[in-house]
Structure 1
Amino acid sequence: MLTIQTLKICDGIVLKKSNFHRNFSKKVKNVKDFNYQYLQKSKVPTMHFQKSLPRLPIPELSKSKDRFLNAVRPLMNSDEYAKTIQIVNSFADKEGKTLQETLIAKDKANKHTSYISDYWFDLYLRDRVALPINYNPLLVVQNDTRPEYNNQLLRASNLLVTSLRFMLSLRAQLLIPEVYHLNPKKSNTPSFWNVTGFLPESLSWYGAYLFKAFPLDMSQFPGLFNASRIPKINKDVIFRDPKSNHILIQKNGNFYVFDVLDSDGNLLAPTEILGNMAKIMNDNSPKAEFPLGVLTCQNRNEWAKQRAHLEETGNAEALKLIDSAIFNLVLDDETMGDDKHKLLKHYLHGDGANRWFDKSISLIVTKDGVSGVNFEHSWGDGVAVLRYIEDIYAETVKKPFLTPECKPSDKNISVKKMEFKLDDKAKHFVQKATKEYSDFYNSLSIDYILYEGLNKDRIKKFKVSGDCIMQLGFQAAYHLLYGKYVGTYESCSTSAFKHGRTETMRPCTDKTKAFCDGLHTKSKAELRALMQECTTYHSMLVKEAAMGQGFDRHLFALMKIAEDHNLPRPELFDSYAYKYLNKSILSTSTLSSPNMMGGGFGPVTKEGFGIAYSVFPDKVGAAVISYKDHNNSTHFVEALNKIFVDITNLLSGE
């Protein structure tokens, strides 16, 4: 990673020293402009490792069979489990063999991608449910420690400048490749980048492997920008226009656009961007009477019909401006303060009036400068989004281009407030969507827990996994409330492989069940021993999932192969065990970053919970979201707190 020392001022930077000598397709006027254009100047091209990334393996059918049976065993009684064994063995011995052979043949014929990629895109794009709550997650970064930098205009403008520098680095192949280092002190060194950069693309991954470093798939990163999901009947499409140079701004339900790159493709000066942003902030237009953004909160087929009507009535060009914008920057008139409940609701769903949930990324900045993203999920996963938000957060709090003393420039102002032609039918669409969306988000139960009795050091002291501790807490809390164990989903990235997406790790196991059953009856020594067993098994399952050796994606692909070839649907996929396991009552995902204030997502089933959790140096935390008609998130948080106290006592003393 290049280190370039700079002195930043409002309209650019003064270069002290750089040892960067490569040639790039992007032409800039001078060194000063060059260093302003790009957030990073990697010695190794962004996609250098992409060609040699290993391909996502297709697990052996026998291993997926065993893993599936292990996952369902703690959820079933003996009769149910005996029946499941028969069904699974029959599948593995009969139609499963043919489906496996067909899947392998298809995979060999498509070496440019992974066996799950197309099926996973299709799964997202065919689902007809609304995007907010059902799919779009939220991430909120910490506030700037300097109060004056949390001014809405200043913070939004700084985030915009750095986001564009990130995007231009990506476009120019200058963004540092995403690499997982087993031991960063030994591998994330100049030698690593020199050696791997020298190797041809076809061999570069192998060079990284010798350093015990693992480059990650970056095929999703271009989907961060200039992209939008377009509603279509039965299956949506992802639209991308990497050549567009404008940003989309939403304020009070109104839409604005302005060019952030000049005619040569170079980034406007910071104060010029500030000038455009100030013009929007100072626009006193009232709240939109018919805010079109709320239409993106609906069932996808319903929205597809409405969008077609909007296009037919003179709004096609305006909608294309929204779709092709680099990303959506949302300026909200709300203040968050220290209210975490309000924060979760605001970033997860809001009232829909000042949102466009179809955009790949919506960067939301509130009146008091609280900042985060709500992102559409079909195009990619958390690896790309977290990298983006972490990188822009780091620069804006350490070396922002704009300071409170900077004055907006009146040069290169191109702000255009978008106007839409709305007939009575379109107005009715908005009114109806507003009422239905209000009913939808008001059906949620949202709560959170921040528990200081457990933290990274305390957990590490007893040589147990923090992730395992959290999952034990969820299992025990649910069992405390409902007296049973249910299908549990923990997301695990497979980005170590070309076009990898995610795999499901199944944290409800025989071992976690034994621990939870004995939590209030067994001795401390017995429970500690069980916890060690849980940690060992949990860590093994996480590793298997990350290495493409889970079973969920494999079985799903086999089911899709049967559909593709018009074969009879195997009994396994309609069995009680398969359906019960895949009804993810506890849908969980971890986010442990000191730069994040919070994250969250909705439940994936009406009867379930969406749980985003973190293990911090000084505490553990979780955001818990459910539907009021089925569950109460506050009751779950209360039960979880009791379990955490029990675990704390277990890890205390001799």
Structure 2
Amino acid sequence: MARLLTKSCFLKGGSSCAPGSVLLRAYSSGGGDTEYLHKSIVPTMHFQRSLPRLPLPKLEDTVRRYLNAQRPLLDDEQFSKTEHLARYFQNGEGKQLHEELVLLDKQNKHTSYISGPWFDMYLCARESIVLNFNPFMSFTPDPRPEYNNQLLRATNMTVSAMRFLKTIRAGYLEPEIFHLNPAKSDTQRFRKLIRLVPSSLSWYGAYMVNAYPLDMSQYFRLFNSTRIPKLNKDELVTDEKARHLLVLRKGNFYVFDVLDRDGNIVKAAEIQAHLKHILSDQSAEAEFPLGYLTSEDRNIWAKVRQKLIDNGNQDAVRKIDSAVFCLCLDDFSTRDHIHLSHNMLHGSGMNRWFDKSFSIIMTQDGTAAINFEHSWGDGVAVLRFQNEVFKDSTERPSVSPQSVPAAVDSGQAVQKLAFNLDDSLKAAVSEAKNKFDALVGSLTIAAMEFKRGGKEFLKTQKLSPDAVSQLSFQMAFLRQYGQTTATYESCSTAAFKHGRTETIRPATIYTKKCSEAFVKNPSKHSTAELREMLHDCSKYHGQLTKEAAMGQGFDRHLFALRHLAAGKGMTVPELFQDPAYARINHNVLSTSTLTSPAVQLGGFAPVVPDGFGVGYGVHDDWIGCNVSAYPARDVGQFVQCVHQSLDDIFKVLEDKRVNK
């Protein structure tokens, strides 16, 4: 399942769609305006109406791609059976389902064929959203050390987040555009022209200069939004009228207004005073921290939430749900990257509300991260928010180390939420805490930094940095476990209206051949032969990435066909009962790449009990990964094997092998 950070061909880590493509942004105005990040002359949603629709792949293409992805995972006998079932599906039930899906898609031109089923997949999932769905992305520290102070940074980020909220709601946020030729399209001249083109045609105008506007339909869910647990299927709720921030500290809940009655941002000195008031509150840790309930099984949480409301807590729950976002202030400093990852991914559970669309978590030393609920949207929207907040809060901070908090009565302005808890509610919190502790206690995280080279060197070798990283994971798994396994890499389809994600399948016949050559028989191959294998892997990975970004993978199409069959009450088609289908969707290697100047680290848990959650980044001169696992896998050994694999690849590329 796509619970990972979105692998975008334009965000999440540089360009993997087309060599030399960049995502640039220049703003028209706004430097001196304290209410907005900037004021784009092109309205935020200018391109939304004319975005192209997510294409439905041809069924024969989907079957071919599916079989290509199955080939490295199966022996000849297994593959023969799977091929037979796939062809039978293509000519029988699959053909009928595909025709119905095409018809359904034509009747719903306002959206994409995957949007509804994808929301259903997330919102109907009953397991805990902690570790199973919510990822984190940590902020790079402020370049000025004196600003990495909890009170200062929390104030600056809150103000910048409110500027983002006001900018997008006013239609001033620069539209998200993927520029393939920025010299032509990322210019004031282009902006002045394109804003005159009607919305119904604007996408085509951008396309003419090789610029690709992206879907921004998810952005409205960033603020004032939460996931409400309901029996069997959750709901997403947004209340744009609410003006208050939710702050958590020691498991206690506080709210205060960050927008005034006229919709202006409350003065930074007042926000600083209110946050200082919360940080100086001598209250003990909450005896029964309600945040644990958001980590429960969704049906259990739905019943407990109703009890909570019925017990006289309706107003307090509504304030949590409707808050602009959640700010979690932790009473300790970050020790190292592993501690950071554990804290931002799950923490102790006491000081979190995992149902909010996103939370900014901040420790005493100013280390900050975003933890976000995944059903409402993907990493593209969250990363844009993170980039903007980082840029604004570091380049245009609203308070400085010399700033004095406003002389206001924060005791009046800040409301500490009180809850009426009966014995059954207290027992529910204790039970949720016990389950949470057992769940997160089983997760291990290890990190690796490969300093021999990165993006720049690999590009001189005419190799895709992403392909080389993915190959290193295939080689590492083969070295550690002696086999090739199902692998998932998420790719954004935000180039299309209501696009979500598609899957890149990095385990291929090329990576299998190359991995076996490097791991099992390196001495049997010349440097030239190994180089050729590396180039074959890179070329095919590039093709898979482009297909996925253009909505031409196979995973979402098959998912939609299966969803349609289930909705009709049909017997599950044999293709989906094939053990090979279950195996390829049991993603032992779940991977996601993330590189941005605003992001220090990102991570998520494995998607299966015997899997690895691999967050990675390819930088100019180094490659890093942040990997999680449960007890079924040895995460420390895996990251060592990844390092060894990269070392072997670079030796070949640098021609430093002993046995040539």
TM-score, normalising length from structure 2? 0.93
Distance in 2 separating the partners of 1:340 and 1:451 = 15
Distance in 2 separating the partners of 1:544 and 1:420 = 52
Amino acid at match of 1:336: T
- One of 628, 637, 640 as aligned partner of 2:639: 637
- One of 374, 382, 386 as aligned partner of 1:385: 382
Distance in 2 separating the partners of 1:563 and 1:614 = 38
Partner SS state of residue 364, structure 1: strand
Structure showing greater relative contact order (alpha-carbon pairs closer than 8 Å, 6 or more residues apart) = 2
Checking the alignment, whether the CA contact within 8 Å between 1:451 and 1:621 is kept in structure 2 is yes
What is the match of residue 29 of structure 1?
none
**Of 281-290 and 492-501, the range deviating more from structure 2:** 281-290
State the Cα distance separating 1:430 from its structure 2 match: 1.4
What is the match of residue 208 of structure 1?
206
Amino acid at match of 1:595: A
State the Cα distance separating 1:595 from its structure 2 match: 2.5
What is the match of residue 18 of structure 1?
none
State the Cα distance separating 1:567 from its structure 2 match: 2.2
Partner SS state of residue 332, structure 2: coil
What is the match of residue 431 of structure 1?
430
What is the match of residue 653 of structure 1?
655
| 1:27-66 map, 5 Å | 35-66=33-64
State the Cα distance separating 1:145 from its structure 2 match: 2.1
State the Cα distance separating 1:412 from its structure 2 match: 7.7
Checking the alignment, whether the CA contact within 8 Å between 1:74 and 1:485 is kept in structure 2 is yes
What is the match of residue 306 of structure 1?
304
| 1:337-416 map, 5 Å | 337=335, 339-411=336-408, 413=410, 414-416=413-415
Amino acid at match of 2:192: N
Partner SS state of residue 238, structure 1: strand
Partner SS state of residue 484, structure 2: coil
State the Cα distance separating 1:243 from its structure 2 match: 1.2
What is the match of residue 175 of structure 2?
177
Checking the alignment, whether the CA contact within 8 Å between 2:127 and 2:297 is kept in structure 1 is yes
Distance in 2 separating the partners of 1:58 and 1:436 = 41
What is the match of residue 531 of structure 2?
528
What is the match of residue 487 of structure 1?
486
Residue deviations 1:506-526 (CA, integer Å, cap 9, x gap):
000001111001112422111
- One of 27, 35, 51 as aligned partner of 1:2: 27
State the Cα distance separating 1:557 from its structure 2 match: 0.5
**Of 515-524 and 486-495, the range deviating more from structure 2:** 515-524
Matched, 1:624 2:621: no
State the Cα distance separating 1:2 from its structure 2 match: 3.4
Distance in 2 separating the partners of 1:402 and 1:590 = 33
Amino acid at match of 2:77: D
Specify every segment of 5 or more residues in structure 2 that has no aligned partner in the other structure, as ranges: 1-25
State the Cα distance separating 1:411 from its structure 2 match: 4.2
Distance in 2 separating the partners of 1:313 and 1:401 = 41
Matched, 1:461 2:460: yes
Amino acid at match of 1:572: L
State the Cα distance separating 1:415 from its structure 2 match: 0.8
C-alpha spacing 1:82/1:61, structure 2 compared with 1 (3 Å): same
Distance in 2 separating the partners of 1:373 and 1:486 = 31
State the Cα distance separating 1:5 from its structure 2 match: 7.3
What is the match of residue 500 of structure 2?
501
Checking the alignment, whether the CA contact within 8 Å between 1:195 and 1:207 is kept in structure 2 is no
Checking the alignment, whether the CA contact within 8 Å between 1:227 and 1:238 is kept in structure 2 is yes
Distance in 1 separating the partners of 2:43 and 2:219 = 14
What is the match of residue 10 of structure 1?
none
Matched, 1:225 2:219: no
Matched, 1:96 2:98: no
Distance in 2 separating the partners of 1:585 and 1:514 = 19
Residue deviations 1:554-591 (CA, integer Å, cap 9, x gap):
01101111112222221001102211111101000110
Partner SS state of residue 254, structure 2: strand
Amino acid at match of 1:400: P
Amino acid at match of 1:478: F
| 1:128-167 map, 5 Å | 128-167=126-165
What is the match of residue 271 of structure 1?
269
Matched, 1:572 2:575: yes
State the Cα distance separating 1:443 from its structure 2 match: 0.5
Distance in 1 separating the partners of 2:254 and 2:39 = 31
Matched, 1:440 2:443: no
State the Cα distance separating 1:303 from its structure 2 match: 1.1
Distance in 1 separating the partners of 2:98 and 2:137 = 38
Amino acid at match of 2:554: F
**Of 352-361 and 617-626, the range deviating more from structure 2:** 617-626
What is the match of residue 23 of structure 2?
none
Checking the alignment, whether the CA contact within 8 Å between 2:29 and 2:40 is kept in structure 1 is no
Residue deviations 1:431-470 (CA, integer Å, cap 9, x gap):
1211221111010121111111131111111010000001
Partner SS state of residue 236, structure 2: strand
Distance in 2 separating the partners of 1:243 and 1:485 = 52
Checking the alignment, whether the CA contact within 8 Å between 1:593 and 1:616 is kept in structure 2 is no
Amino acid at match of 2:654: S
Amino acid at match of 1:555: L
Residue deviations 1:227-271 (CA, integer Å, cap 9, x gap):
000111111111110111111000111000001111111111111
Partner SS state of residue 489, structure 2: strand
State the Cα distance separating 1:134 from its structure 2 match: 0.7
State the Cα distance separating 1:373 from its structure 2 match: 0.5
Amino acid at match of 2:594: L
Distance in 1 separating the partners of 2:401 and 2:461 = 47
What is the match of residue 80 of structure 1?
78
Checking the alignment, whether the CA contact within 8 Å between 1:594 and 1:616 is kept in structure 2 is no
Partner SS state of residue 285, structure 2: coil
C-alpha spacing 1:584/1:611, structure 2 compared with 1 (3 Å): same
Amino acid at match of 1:554: H
Partner SS state of residue 331, structure 2: coil
Partner SS state of residue 529, structure 1: helix
Checking the alignment, whether the CA contact within 8 Å between 2:28 and 2:188 is kept in structure 1 is no
Checking the alignment, whether the CA contact within 8 Å between 1:42 and 1:175 is kept in structure 2 is yes
Residue deviations 1:175-207 (CA, integer Å, cap 9, x gap):
111000012233200122112111000000000
C-alpha spacing 1:568/1:5, structure 2 compared with 1 (3 Å): closer
TM-score, normalising length from structure 1? 0.94
Distance in 2 separating the partners of 1:124 and 1:216 = 22
What is the match of residue 547 of structure 1?
550
Amino acid at match of 1:2: Y
Distance in 2 separating the partners of 1:220 and 1:149 = 31
What is the match of residue 105 of structure 1?
103
C-alpha spacing 1:106/1:5, structure 2 compared with 1 (3 Å): closer
Residue deviations 1:52-108 (CA, integer Å, cap 9, x gap):
000000000000010000000000000000111110000000111110110011001
State the Cα distance separating 1:425 from its structure 2 match: 1.2
Distance in 1 separating the partners of 2:290 and 2:493 = 37
Distance in 2 separating the partners of 1:78 and 1:452 = 40
Matched, 1:417 2:419: no
Residue deviations 1:270-321 (CA, integer Å, cap 9, x gap):
1121122112112111111111101111111111111111111111111110
**Of 500-509 and 312-321, the range deviating more from structure 2:** 312-321
Distance in 1 separating the partners of 2:28 and 2:369 = 27
Checking the alignment, whether the CA contact within 8 Å between 1:445 and 1:631 is kept in structure 2 is no
State the Cα distance separating 1:111 from its structure 2 match: 0.5
